[in-house]
Every structure is written in structure tokens, then in C-alpha cells.
Homo-oligomer: A and B are copies of this chain.
Amino acid sequence: MKFDLIRTCPDTRARRGRLYLPHVPDGVETPCFMPVGTQGTVKAMSQPELFDELGFRIILGNTYHLNLRPGPEAVKRMGGLHRFIAWDGAMLTDSGGYQVFSLSDLNKITDDGVTFKSHLDGSMHHFSPERSIEIQHCLGADIIMAFDQCPPYPCTRDKVAEASERTHRWAERSLAYHMENGDPEQQNLFGICQGSTYEDLRIESAQQIASLGFAGFAVGGVSVGEPTEMMRSAVEWSVPHLPDDRPRYLMGVGTPLDLVESVAQGIDMFDCVLPTRLGRNGSIYTSNGRINIKGSRYAEDTSPVDPNCACAVCRRYSAAYLRHLYKTNEILGCRLATYHNLAFYASLMQKIRESIDHGSFSAFQRDFVYRNSSQN
């Protein structure tokens, strides 16, 4: 996998890059945000809206969910995930590790892997590093993730150390299985660092994972309920130990402010359910902060939800109409809010990239933090 570093910020660790992936031969511009398409669809959005209208070039799929429905072998028989969901860009699948711990009703961890009960029908399943990679081979995403053990927050030092050690062993097994059975030209395997909130464990994990021949590196074990400052520390401790010439992916993060601050720490890739999930709940990002569109103050507000936004929703529809759609539980409400929130994220990443290009990222960051530090 070719990753071009185009420019670095002189005052921060922020960097502009271009990630060449099998389904995006022209390259994904980084830093980038990847919308989450858990079950093979970014909730409430269509594929052309994401690709053609909002310009996203890579989205996520979740191995845990796609393994249950429609099943990896079915996806493979239908030509892989890209073709199955008719997505013109690149995809990334996670390893399923996060979900088997957080979603499944019951799980039993051994060194071999995790046995868990489906949250849908109670059926029993087993994920090992080898099976996780095998499933991801069936799905065929451009970027696949090593199987890891993500400790909860808070977690004792002993348990974190144990999870990190297991994650390292599983990283080696994930990589070995992929090199032997996969097609590294078509699928790029990323390693995941753990270490929770412990500085020495974060550093040790980053160093160990970095020593393995992964195509890219993810900071995992964040966005599990820890305070923002702890997430920032985890990134700050990990990034310096990851190779400069490989992309860095911060998993499950975050708010607009998180994105700006983490780009400043040297992160290149993000994914998060916030813009889509909050949108479905009527919470809308604007240049003046996040608003709840259900509020009565919008009952007769004929201006767009964000007067400074140029997205298709803000060009056509009023805040009052969006509010009406939410008050009446209409599907179009979810559609419009999700679309706008993703447009907001796309526009933010565009501004971040432009400011790095123009050598003005530090100023952009200062200004953004000043305007947004009271928001979430």
C-alpha cells in the first residue's frame, strides 16, 4: 500500500497524505474521516450521496455484524462487500474484537480467541485472529484490521497489561494468517495498539505493534467511555512510536474538536458514529455549535439549520421543516440530519487538509479550539 506524505505542519504533528487503495486508485486524501456503515449501509444514506455528493472515498463495515448477516461466505459468493453494497470507493472492516466484547451477551476469552453469543438470536460464535482475518478476506475490504482485545474503561493495570500482551500475540497471528492466506496487494492489514490509560503500557504496545510489518497502525482502546483528556493522552503517548511513513488511524473518534486536536497529534484517519447517530436523534452540528432541532425555538425558523453551510440540505430546507419532520417521526428527518452532519464532517476535514496545505493548520487549530472548546 502506497502512502504519500505530502506535507507536514511545522508547528504540530499534523500531516497531509494520500493513501492509495485498490478501490481508490487516485488516492484517499488524508487526514480523512470514514463514515460508519455497520451493516453494509451508512444509516439513512445512499451510496451516491456519500460518494458523489459528499465526496467520501472510504467507509467502514463491521465484521461482527456482517458475520451474522448476511454472513461472510454469502458476501464472498456475491463478489465481495464493495459489489454487494454497490459502493464505488474503498472500505475498511474492523476485526470484530470491539463488538464481541461490547455487544455480545456473553463472551469467554482464551488465548485462542473469543467465544460469544450473538446479540440477535443467542447463537454461539467463535472469533480467533485467524477466523477474524478469514472473515475479512471474504468481505474483501481495502483495509482490514488485526484481531485485538479491547479492555473496557476503567480497567486495572494488570488486566490492561494482560489484554495488551494477548493483543500482541493476536497481532502476530493475524499478520501470519494474512500473509499466508490473503492477498496483501488487495487488502492492507493494519495493527492495533492498546494500553488503555497507562502511559508505559501505551508506549510498549505502540512499540511492539510498530515492530510488526503492518501496512498501517491504529490507536485502539479509545472511545470506550474514558474522559476526552485520557483519549488525547493515549494518542500523545502512542503516535511518536508509530512509523512516520505509515498511516495512523484513531479508532472510533470523535467530535469535531477531537478530530482537529488528534490531527495535530499526527492522526491521519478517523471513524465515528457520532455524526450519523446524533443526526438520527435530531442533534445537528452547525458552525455555531451543536443544536437539538426538536427545540421549540426552531418551530418557525425559516433559515437553514446552519446558515454558513452550503450542503444540499441547508440550500433547500429550513430548520422549521427539519423540526417538523422530527416531531412527526418522518424518515426524511433522519435523512436530512444525517446528510448535513456528514457534510459538516466532510467540510471540516477539507478545511483541515487545506490549512495543512497552506501551512496555516496551527492557526486553524487555535481558532477552532477557541470557538469550540465549550462544545462536544
Q: Which residues on A are within 8 Å of B, measured CB to CB?
A: 39-41, 43-48, 65, 69-70, 74, 77-79, 83-86, 299-300, 302, 312, 316-318, 320-321, 324-325, 327-328, 330-332, 334-336
Contact = CB atoms under 8 A, between A and B. Distances in A.
Given A300-B74, A332-B46, A69 B327 contact: yes
B86 A321 contact: yes
Contacts of A77: 300
Contacts of A299: 70, 74
Given A78-B302, A302-B78, A44 B332 contact: yes
A339 to B, nearest CB: 9
B43 A318 contact: no
Given A86-B316, A331-B334, A335-B331, A325 B41 contact: yes
Contact of A43 (B39, B65, B316, B331): B331
A299 B75 CA distance: 10
A213 to B, nearest CB: 35
Given A85-B321, A321-B85, A330 B41 contact: yes
B84 A321 contact: yes
Contacts of A65: 328
A231 to B, nearest CB: 29
A299 B78 CA distance: 10
A76 to B, nearest CB: 11
Question: 10 smallest A-B Cβ distances: which pairs?
Answer: A44-B331, A39-B328, A41-B332, A86-B316, A41-B330, A70-B324, A86-B317, A78-B302, A69-B328, A74-B300
Contacts of A331: 41, 43-44, 331, 334-335
A24 B281 CA distance: 36
A330 B276 CA distance: 13
Nearest to A317: B86
Among A41, A44, A84, chain B packs the most CB atoms within 10 A around the CB of: A41
Nearest to A327: B69
Given A41-B332, A43-B330, 10 more contacts: A40-B321, A41-B325, A41-B330, A43-B332, A44-B332, A46-B335, A70-B327, A77-B300, A83-B302, A84-B320
27 contacts: A39-B324, A39-B330, A40-B321, A40-B324, A41-B330, A43-B332, A44-B331, A44-B335, A45-B332, A46-B335, A46-B336, A69-B324, A69-B328, A70-B299, A70-B324, A78-B302, A78-B318, A78-B320, A79-B302, A83-B302, A84-B318, A84-B321, A84-B324, A86-B317, A86-B321, A331-B331, A335-B335
